[in-house]
Amino acid sequence: MAASENKIIKKGGQDKAKSKTETWAKLRSYFELRFQWQPIVDFAKKKTVPEHPYSFWTYFGGICLFLFIIQVITGLLLLLYYVPAVDKAHESIVAIMGQVRFGWLIRSVHSWSANILIGAIFIHMFSTFLLKAYRPPREITWISGFFLLLIFLAFGFSGYLLPWNELSFFATRVGTDIIGQIPIIGQSLKFFVLGGPEVSGSTLSRFYWFHIAILPLLTLFFLGVHLYLIQVQGISRPIGIKPERTEEVPFFPDFILRDAAIWFTVLAIIGVLCVFFPWEVGEKADPFAPTPIGIRPEWYFTFMFTTLKLVPAHILSLEGEKLALLVFALGGLLWMLVPFWDKRAQRDEKNPLTTAVGVVVLVYIFSLTLITYLFPRL
């Protein structure tokens, strides 16, 4: 009697599992018929990532993507309460920090994550440069990444002004004065960026427009290209690392799981920073007040800012500042075009020259940034 009862229960369980599998199969075929994504699923199943001694650096791309997603989510939430007007911008940030439930957390996460994102982009870029991951066929991946760097710097610059506080107001004034120094187009460009001759309400509207509409659209395009190319071409194997020394790890689920573990760790770190060092609101900007002493832009612009401060007024009858800006522009262009001039990397050969260039640029940026903070009254 008992044995037959057991049989019935077992059979019942099997039937249940069978019907579950059938429902799942039906659902899959329903969506497959409409979306036809089997090739993508097959691709994902086959996709692997090489594992080698430098694999650690490959996770920074994922960190950047994760932080960007955080920026989108927190940015959208901030839009619920932020008002982009001279007489309301600062007040709305104060309200977000004080009155809106968890507003302090959302705003602090947005600000902290923005800064960490720029840092992560720099690390990602330099590791890519030093591991020569830009070599063919990944030239366009590198160039799209370079444009993403510029876009995120613009995100930082435009977002900094939005709270309309004293520091951001005067830093924007200093920053846009630098734009005005660009030969030929400088003044017109400055006028366009500011929406007038000075930092004003028009500048705030304009920066807001850049920050929430134009830059996100540009990001979607360049990030789309960047991610598509990475998926199609896979992650690069550094020069000198032989295929037999690397292990191919499945992208799904191994690499994605490790990525997720790192993302949650980064999120925890951001949480700690937000609770112990919430982003300050600062004093409301007063356009008629004198420029405070020691005003400087956000940390990622300070190496350029300090260079312009240190450069002599005239170099060989040329204006020092203009010359420095020209050098930065040319340097940036050369940096972007590295996949085309690094001929040895194109042949999968080591090139100490580009490594040296990367190290020099890295040391330069690091030391100038350090000087800015060690000698604020320079």
Partner 1 sequence: MKKQNWLLFAFGLFIVWGLGLAADKKNTCLECHLQLEDKLALPARSFPQDIHANYGLLCSDCHGGNAEKEDIEEAKDKTFRGTPSRQNIPKLCASCHSNATYMRNFNPRLRVDQLELYLTSKHGQAFEKGDLKPAICTDCHGVHGIQAANMPQSKTFAWNIAQTCGRCHSDTSLMKSYNLPANQEEDYRTSVHAQALYEKKDLSAPTCNDCHGNHGASPPEVTSVANVCRQCHPSPSQLFVRSAHKAVFDEAGISECEACHGHHRIVKPTDEMLPGGKLDTCVQCHEANSKAFQQGAPLRQELQRLATELESLDSRLDAVAKKGVEVSEARFQLQEARTPFFEARNLVHGLSFSEMESRLKDSSDRLSRVRAMAEAAEKESQFRKTGLIIATAFLFLLALGILLKARQLRQRRLKTYL
Q: Is 267 in the site for partner 1 (CB under 8 A)?
A: yes
- Candidates 262, 308, 361, 362; binder of partner 1 (CB under 8 A) is 262
How far is the C-alpha of 31 from the C-alpha of 198, rounded, in Å? Answer: 55
- Candidates 76, 150, 185, 257; binder of partner 1 (CB under 8 A) is 257
Q: Is 58 in the site for partner 1 (CB under 8 A)?
A: no
* Binding track, positions 308-347, relative to partner 1; x by CB under 8 A: ----------------------------------------
- Candidates 275, 289, 329, 353; binder of partner 1 (CB under 8 A) is 275
**Phi and psi torsions of 149, nearest 5°:** -60, -50
- Candidates 73, 153, 182, 281; binder of partner 1 (CB under 8 A) is 281
* Minimum distance from residue 81 beta carbon to partner 1 (Å): 13
Count interface residues toward partner 1 (CB under 8 A): 27
Q: Is 258 in the site for partner 1 (CB under 8 A)?
A: yes
- Candidates 254, 286, 348, 349; binder of partner 1 (CB under 8 A) is 254
**In terms of CB distance, is 105 or 143 closer to partner 1?**
105
- Candidates 97, 114, 143, 229; binder of partner 1 (CB under 8 A) is 97
- Candidates 12, 13, 98, 287; binder of partner 1 (CB under 8 A) is 98
Question: What residues numbered 104-133 form the site for partner 1, per CB under 8 A?
Answer: 104-105, 108
**In terms of CB distance, is 65 or 105 closer to partner 1?**
105
Q: Is 277 in the site for partner 1 (CB under 8 A)?
A: yes
**Residue 128, both tokens:** 């890519």
**In terms of CB distance, is 140 or 281 closer to partner 1?**
281
**Phi and psi torsions of 247, nearest 5°:** -115, 135
- Asked, as a colleague might, if the bond just before 253 is cis with ω within 30 of 0, I would say yes
* Minimum distance from residue 277 beta carbon to partner 1 (Å): 7
C-alpha angle with apex 34: 30 to 40, nearest 5 degrees? Answer: 100
* Minimum distance from residue 151 beta carbon to partner 1 (Å): 29
Q: Is 276 in the site for partner 1 (CB under 8 A)?
A: yes
Q: Which stretch binds partner 1 (CB under 8 A): 72-80, 81-89, 94-102, 228-236?
A: 94-102
- Candidates 31, 37, 264, 366; binder of partner 1 (CB under 8 A) is 264
Q: Is 69 in the site for partner 1 (CB under 8 A)?
A: no
Q: Which residues are CB-neighbours of 62 under 8 A, at least 6 positions away?
A: 259, 262, 263
Q: Which stretch binds partner 1 (CB under 8 A): 28-36, 118-126, 268-276, 298-306?
A: 268-276
HEC string of the chain? CHHHHHHHHHHHHHHHHHHHHHHHHHHHHHHHHHHCCHHHHHHHHHCEEEECCCHHHHHHHHHHHHHHHHHHHHHHHHHCCCCCCCCCHHHHHHHHHHCCCCHHHHHHHHHHHHHHHHHHHHHHHHHHHHCCCCCCCCHHHHHHHHHHHHHHHHHHHHHHHCCCEHHHHHHHHHHHHHHHCCCCCHHHHHHHHHCCCCCCHHHHHHHHHHHHHHHHHHHHHHHHHHHHHHHHHCCCCCCCCCHHHCEEEEHHHHHHHHHHHHHHHHHHHHHHHHHHCCCCCCCECCCCCCCCCCCCCCHHHHHHHHHHHHCCCEECCEEHHHHHHHHHHHHHHHHHCHHHHCHHHHCCCCCHHHHHHHHHHHHHHHHHHHHHHHCCCC
- Candidates 40, 272, 363, 378; binder of partner 1 (CB under 8 A) is 272
Q: Which stretch binds partner 1 (CB under 8 A): 20-28, 102-110, 183-191, 320-328?
A: 102-110
Q: Is 268 in the site for partner 1 (CB under 8 A)?
A: yes
**Residue 309, both tokens:** 């401060």
Point out which residues pair with 319 in neighbouring strands. 314
Q: Is 278 in the site for partner 1 (CB under 8 A)?
A: yes
* Minimum distance from residue 40 beta carbon to partner 1 (Å): 21
Using CB under 8 A, list all residues that contact partner 1: 94, 97-99, 104-105, 108, 249-250, 253-254, 257-258, 260-262, 264-265, 267-268, 271-272, 275-278, 281
